[in-house]
C-alpha cells in the first residue's frame, strides 16, 4: 500500500485508520488529488476558509491544512480518528472538526465534498448548504466519474442551484455548484417507518445504514435474540445503526442495560431518539460513538449482539468485522457471548473459531442467505 503522497509543493505520509500493515487500501484517492490540483490552479488566497465534507481518511484536509483554515465535517468516527492521525504524522496544524450532527454556518470561502454513498445524505447536506451559503461560494464535489450520473447532477440543481462538471482526470470528475436555486427542494432530516412485525417505530437520520427499510440480517437476528444468561445483563449492540437490535432486546429484557455503539454519529443519534420513543426512557441505555469497541472497558459485557459491516466506503473488506470480533472478546466477561449474524459466504464461523476456540463457537440457526453464530468466552 502506498502511504507517501507526492504533491507539487509538499510530500505527505497518509494512512487509513486503523493502520493495517500490508493492507492494499490507500488513504487518499485520485479524486482528492484532483480537487487539490484544481484549488491550486485557482490560486486561492492563503488562509481561505475551506469546509470539507465527507473526507474519508482526512487526506484532503491534511493536504490543505498548512495553507488554509480547514473545517472538517464527517459522520464517521473512523474518519475523525484518521484525520487526527494524519495531522500528527505530518506535524500539520490542527483543523476545526465538526460531526454530521453539528450545523453548518456561512463562514466559508469554498466548500469541498466527497460524494456520500447514500443519496439521502447528499440531499440533506445540500439542503443545509443551500440554507446558509451565499450564492457566490463555490461548492466543489468529487467522485469517480462512473458514480456521477445525470440524476446526481439533478440532485445538486434541485437542492442547491446552478451545476456544471469538469473533464475526467484519472477516472474522477468534479461537480461545481452554487447555492442559487430560488425554490430549492428540501430534504427531510429523518425518515420514519415501522419495523413490522417487530413493534418498533424507527426514525433514521440521513446517513444511517439501511435507513429506509429493515436490513434482512437484522430481521433474522430479531427472531433469534439470546435469552439472558444473567439477571440483569450488560448488553452491547455493536454497529447499532438505527438501534433496532438493542431496542428490541431492551423491550424484551427491561432490567438489562444496553449500550449502543456505532462509528456513525447519525446512527448513534438515531438509536438514541429511537430508544427514547420506543422504550419510553433512556434509563439503562448508553450511547457511544466508537471505532468498534476501542474505548469499551475490558470485561464489561455479558452479551454482544452484532450485525457487522462488510464495506468501508466503496471497498468490500472484512477488517472491521475482524476488529469487532477481537474487541468483543476483550470486552466480554468470562462466559459472556457474542452473537453474530452474517451472510453465509463471509466465513465468520472460521474467524470466530480461530479467536474463541472450536468448542466455544456454535451455529444458532441458518437460512439460505444468513448464519447466526454464538462465540462464548471461556
Ligand X SMILES: C[S@@+](CC[C@H](N)C(=O)[O-])C[C@H]1O[C@@H](n2cnc3c(N)ncnc32)[C@H](O)[C@@H]1O
Size of site (CB under 6 A) for ligand X = 19
Beta strand residue intervals within the chain, DSSP E = 4-6, 11-13, 49-53, 69-74, 96-99, 110-114, 139-144, 163-165, 172-177, 190-194, 201-205, 234-238, 257-262, 285-289, 301-306, 311-312, 315-316, 332-343, 361-366, 370-376
Which residue in the set 5, 104, 267, 268 belongs to the binding site for ligand X (CB under 6 A)? 267
Q: What's the residue count for the chain? A: 378
Cell of 354: 480461530
Nearer to ligand X, 49 or 288 (CB): 288
| Angstrom distance (rounded) from CA 295 to CA 160 | 39
Q: How far is the CB of 199 from ligand X (least distance, A)?
A: 16
Nearer to ligand X, 127 or 207 (CB): 207
In this structure, the dihedral spanned by the alpha carbons of residues 128, 111, 100 and 103, taken in order and rounded to 10 degrees, is -50
Nearer to ligand X, 76 or 128 (CB): 76
Which residue in the set 48, 119, 309, 333 belongs to the binding site for ligand X (CB under 6 A)? 309
CA 46 to chain centroid, in Å, comes to 32
Nearer to ligand X, 78 or 92 (CB): 78
| Angstrom distance (rounded) from CA 137 to CA 37 | 19
Q: How far is the CB of 328 from ligand X (least distance, A)?
A: 11
Q: Does 211 engage in binding with ligand X (CB under 6 A)?
A: no
- Asked whether 245 and 261 are in contact (CB, 8 A), the reply is no
- Residue in this structure with the C-alpha cell 455479558, named with its chain if needed: 302
Which residue in the set 39, 82, 320, 375 belongs to the binding site for ligand X (CB under 6 A)? 320
Which residue in the set 99, 125, 274, 307 belongs to the binding site for ligand X (CB under 6 A)? 307
Which residue in the set 58, 184, 241, 342 belongs to the binding site for ligand X (CB under 6 A)? 241
Q: How far is the CB of 195 from ligand X (least distance, A)?
A: 9
Which residue in the set 209, 249, 348, 356 belongs to the binding site for ligand X (CB under 6 A)? 209
Nearer to ligand X, 63 or 244 (CB): 244
- Residue in this structure with the C-alpha cell 457474542, named with its chain if needed: 338
Residue 223: CB atoms within 10 Å: 10
Nearer to ligand X, 160 or 244 (CB): 244
Print the binding letters for residues 72-101 with ligand X: x by CB under 6 A, - otherwise.
------x-----------------------
Which residue in the set 29, 128, 291, 376 belongs to the binding site for ligand X (CB under 6 A)? 291
| Stretch of residues binding ligand X (CB under 6 A), selected from 137-145, 170-178, 241-249, 278-286 | 241-249
Cell of 304: 454482544
Which residue in the set 53, 195, 200, 245 belongs to the binding site for ligand X (CB under 6 A)? 245
Per DSSP bridges, beta strands 285-289 and 257-262 are: parallel
Q: Does 240 engage in binding with ligand X (CB under 6 A)?
A: yes
Nearer to ligand X, 157 or 326 (CB): 326
Q: Does 156 engage in binding with ligand X (CB under 6 A)?
A: no
**Largest distance between two CA atoms of the chain:** 65
Cα Rg, the chain, nearest whole Å: 22
Q: How far is the CB of 236 from ligand X (least distance, A)?
A: 11
| Stretch of residues binding ligand X (CB under 6 A), selected from 91-99, 260-268, 280-288, 342-350 | 260-268
What DSSP line would sit under 173-193, residue for residue?
Answer: EEEEE-S--SS-----SEEEE
Where does this chain bind ligand X (CB under 6 A)? 78, 209-210, 215, 218, 239-241, 244-245, 262-264, 267, 291-292, 307, 309, 320
Amino acid at each position: 500500500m502506498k502511504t507517501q503522497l507526492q504533491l507539487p509543493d509538499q510530500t505527505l505520509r497518509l494512512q487509513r485508520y486503523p493502520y493495517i500493515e500490508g493492507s492494499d487500501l490507500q488513504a487518499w484517492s485520485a479524486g482528492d488529488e484532483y480537487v487539490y490540483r484544481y484549488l491550486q490552479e485557482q490560486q486561492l488566497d492563503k488562509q481561505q476558509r475551506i469546509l470539507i465534507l465527507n473526507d474519508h481518511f482526512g487526506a484532503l484536509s491534511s493536504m490543505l491544512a498548512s495553507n488554509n483554515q480547514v473545517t472538517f465535517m464527517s459522520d464517521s468516527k473512523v474518519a475523525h480518528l484518521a484525520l487526527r492521525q494524519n495531522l500528527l504524522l505530518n506535524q500539520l496544524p490542527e483543523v476545526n472538526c465538526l460531526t454530521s450532527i453539528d450545523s453548518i454556518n456561512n463562514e466559508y470561502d469554498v466548500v469541498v465534498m466527497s460524494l456520500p454513498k447514500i443519496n439521502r445524505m447528499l440531499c440533506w447536506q445540500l439542503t443545509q448548504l443551500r440554507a446558509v451559503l451565499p450564492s457566490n461560494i463555490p461548492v466543489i464535489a468529487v467522485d469517480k466519474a462512473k458514480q456521477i450520473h445525470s440524476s446526481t447532477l439533478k440532485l445538486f440543481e434541485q437542492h442547491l442551484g446552478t451545476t456544471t462538471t469538469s473533464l475526467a482526470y484519472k477516472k474522477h470528475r468534479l461537480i461545481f455548484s452554487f447555492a442559487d436555486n430560488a425554490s430549492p427542494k428540501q430534504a427531510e432530516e429523518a425518515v420514519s417507518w415501522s419495523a413490522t412485525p417487530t413493534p418498533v417505530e424507527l426514525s433514521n437520520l440521513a446517513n444511517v445504514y439501511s435507513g429506509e427499510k429493515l436490513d434482512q440480517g437484522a430481521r433474522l437476528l430479531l427472531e433469534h435474540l439470546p435469552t439472558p444468561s444473567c439477571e440483569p445483563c450488560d448488553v452491547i449492540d455493536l454497529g447499532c445503526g438505527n438501534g433496532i437490535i438493542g431496542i428490541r432486546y431492551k423491550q424484551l429484557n427491561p432490567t438489562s442495560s444496553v449500550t449502543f455503539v456505532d462509528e456513525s454519529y447519525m446512527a448513534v443519534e438515531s438509536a438514541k431518539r429511537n430508544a427514547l420513543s420506543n422504550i419510553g426512557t433512556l434509563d439503562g441505555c448508553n450511547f457511544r460513538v466508537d471505532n468498534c469497541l476501542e474505548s469499551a472497558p475490558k470485561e464489561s459485557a455479558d452479551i454482544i449482539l452484532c450485525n457487522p459491516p462488510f464495506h468501508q466506503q466503496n471497498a468490500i473488506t472484512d477488517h472491521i468485522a475482524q476488529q469487532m470480533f477481537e474487541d468483543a472478546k476483550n470486552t466480554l466477561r468470562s462466559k459472556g457471548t457474542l452473537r453474530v449474524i452474517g451472510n453465509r459466504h463471509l466465513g465468520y464461523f472460521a474467524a470466530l473459531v480461530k479467536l474463541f476456540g472450536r468448542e466455544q463457537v456454535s451455529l444458532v440457526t441458518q437460512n439460505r442467505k444468513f448464519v447466526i453464530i454464538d462465540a462464548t468466552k471461556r
